[in-house]
Amino acid sequence: MQSNFVDAQEKSIFLFSDIKIKGNDGEELSAHRSILVARSGLFNILLSGKNVTTQDLIFPEFSSNTLLVILEYLYTGKVTEKSLTIETVAEAYHCADFFLIEQLKLQIIEFFKNRDVDNKVNVSAKILSQILEYMESSDNELTNLLYDSVSSVPLETIEYCNLNGKALEYILSKIKKEETNMLSTLEYNLFHYIILWAANEISEETLSFYRSCLPSSEIVNNLNTTYLQKWNFNIPFNIQEIHSRYKPTMITKTSSLLDYVNLDRIHPLVISNIIEPLSGLISPNKLSDIRKKYALLAGKYIYISREVPSLQWSTCGYNMCLYRSPFIVTSNSLSQGWIRTAVPKKKVLNELQFNIFNSCPSRVIFVCIIGGKKISFI
């Protein structure tokens, strides 16, 4: 009974009106200018001038459903689930920002936080896409909240249809800027996701083709962590012919996104067998730079992820020995030992030597020698 009374009361307050508000769908909403002027700085500017006699206000940026959220808040100081829904969160937040209503923005954020929805990560991705489409700046609390939700899971678990280009680029830029271990994502996984996301934007047929061209993350990860470097993935024999059909559109959709991928962190077998045949996606100059870098390694592959670099050790002291692969070394000594490797930097190959001293059971000192300079780690 009380609920019905409240509903009736809220409806009645809109009966006394002297102005009409329209959104981009043409539907009229009734309101009273005195209430709008008293409760909103923007409405105060729009309606308080001496020469203002208009009986209608039109806001082509927003739908009538979103404007109803604004009116409900201005009249009652709160919003309800009848006007605010998950589907309208992004536009409502943008609208509250437009009308300079900070408290409403906070209520919308709390609404989203407390809303129990299925598959909330994909819902977050969809709302993130919407909010970045609506608002010029990504520097706001809702965008940060949505990013935190999206970045809590592996990128590949987010459905392609829920991210638009702006949202995907925003996520990639955050990864690169923060050098975060987000999602424990390998560099190849980022490349894999970007290509399939772009293909999905074109058609299901395009997505199916590029899926057949790209090995799984498991296959590539095995290349990164095992001693035997074997390529056991068969790509379509007519890969270049079919790729040429989609090439212009794929380049348009991926060019800015692939700038966020460090291709030299992808295994050379993937570069030569997959990325090079998909010509045009990566510029010839960039591919040439990657080949030069690998040539400096003289056959010694160094895999550097966003988490921990895996160095292929070239030699070690008599107290040390390689364990099952060139990436793992063990010590036969409780006191000291040394290991050595080389990494490319620009056009030269830098040699790194690690001297290891075990000063006590709970304390190990690493001394890294780079170009004759010593750097100590404890």
pLDDT tens figures, 252-284: 999 999 999 988 888 888 898 899 999 999 999
Q: Domain limits at 373?
A: 311-377
Q: Is residue 185 part of a domain?
A: no
Of 71, 90, 116, the one marking the end of a domain is: 116
- Please tell me the pTM assigned to this model: 0.75
Q: Is residue 146 part of a domain?
A: no
309-319 tens-digit pLDDT: 455 555 555 55
Residue 298 pLDDT more than 80? no
Q: Is residue 103 part of a domain?
A: yes
Number of domains in the chain: 2
**Among the listed ranges 44-53, 103-112, 179-188, 200-209, which one has the minimum average pLDDT value?**
179-188
What's the pLDDT at 45? 84
Q: Is residue 359 part of a domain?
A: yes
What's the pLDDT at 162? 96
Q: Is residue 207 part of a domain?
A: no
What's the pLDDT at 1? 34
Q: Which residue has the higher pLDDT, 127 or 332?
A: 127
56-73 tens-digit pLDDT: 889 999 999 999 999 999
Residue 137 pLDDT more than 80? yes
CATH label of the domain that carries residue 34? 3.30.710.10
Mean pLDDT of the chain: 79
Beta bridge partners of 363: 360
Of 81, 97, 116, the one marking the end of a domain is: 116
Of 116, 145, 177, the one marking the end of a domain is: 116
Q: Is residue 210 part of a domain?
A: no
